Structure 1
Amino acid sequence: MTTSPATRGRSTRLPRDARRAQLLVAAQEVFVRSGYHSAAMDDIADQAGVSKPVLYQHFPSKLELYLALLDQHTEAMVSAVRQALASTTDNKQRVAATMAAYFEFVDRKGEPFRLVFESDLTNEAAVREKVDAVTARCAEAVAEVIREDTALPEDEANLLGVALTGMAQVTARYWMTTRGSIPRDAASRLIGQLSWRGLGGFPKTDGARADGATRDPASTLGEQPA
């Protein structure tokens, strides 16, 4: 008699970290497919091919399991934005890279963005805190770069950071609903161009450039280095 993948999985012993990772993958599939409220620990155990006691050994509750997934994917989102900002010193390319990071995130296998940006559990304080934090941290990372390169006050730089990351998030999620009409790279470039047309006009701050020359206070972020 042929056994199912789930049945075969129950007889496999894994190191604790590997088992935890397996359970998170299974839980993500169930949460994305069913939403938090409709998902059951039985469903997640079956998806992972383990018994419910094994699942509870690693995650004592469904909420704790969901929060672990949020931690994993919110950190990944923040890391992607920071890597994009650090990938170049050319501000136009920084904007393009940041937009691309959001579009890549919503296009990831398993649709983790649905847990981060489309959660059906935002009335839970612990979930709301993590969801709000990822938006704030990404916006702060962008604002930090804006402050470094412009003469804008901190509150204005922060507002621009929120605007840019908000645009990236909303447009990337919209793109997913029309996936196939515009290739991902083309879509992110289009939004990057729109963002840069606005941000590129802000004045650079006074001070020494990397090549030792003095910046013109009237120069803008859109000006290419000499």
Structure 2
Amino acid sequence: MVSATYLLMIAVFIATLFIQFWLQRTYARYSREANSRGLTGAQVARAILDAHGLHHVRVEPVPGALTDHYDPMQKVVRLSEPNFASPSSAALAVAAHEVGHALQDAKGYAWLRVRAQLLPAANIGSMFGPWIFLAGMLFSATGLMNIGIWLFAAAALFQFVTLPVEFDASNRALAILKRMNFLDNREMDGARTVLTAAALTYVAALANSLATILHYVAIMQTAREE
């Protein structure tokens, strides 16, 4: 059982590497293709926010690549410097996606609220769960191992709830980009590919966590039988 779950973890890890490679390659490709209207990610983010009455939400650059995110506490859409200033199809897709989170926040999207409530437990679980499980292994304490599994499961639950949040933001982004005529049909295909690749990274993260939990459970069951 342990060896089977170990092989599952390896398979999921390899799949995750492939998805990350596909995302990087896809993003790089469409980052080189300027959109026909010559608009930057920052301009499109601002235009979408204003069109939906979110004039108070700021758009700011943030260092790094693919570090884009929406901060619900500060009400700020932060775009990585390349996407902030770039007129590429990829930049517009990412910018619209992050604005999609701002729209979710403004409309009280239920899954976004649930994710925010789970965040503290998820942080604790991802940080301490594996270490507590390892301590349980070292001291042959199945009780500790069980606590470690449940803590790590909180992080997996957070990742599960993240999926509808991310897919909904992407769907909003694509609909808005088309409705507001920011991208033509060919450019829309590129934006859809970029957002699909990005969404799969969240699926892969959840799969990794679930495989890890199964592996932990198998180890604990073996320890109980010994």
| Interval of TM-score (by shorter of Structure 1 and Structure 2) | under 0.3
Q: TM-score, normalised by structure 2?
A: 0.25
Greater RCO structure (CA 8 Å; 6+ sep): 2
Q: TM-score, normalised by structure 1?
A: 0.25
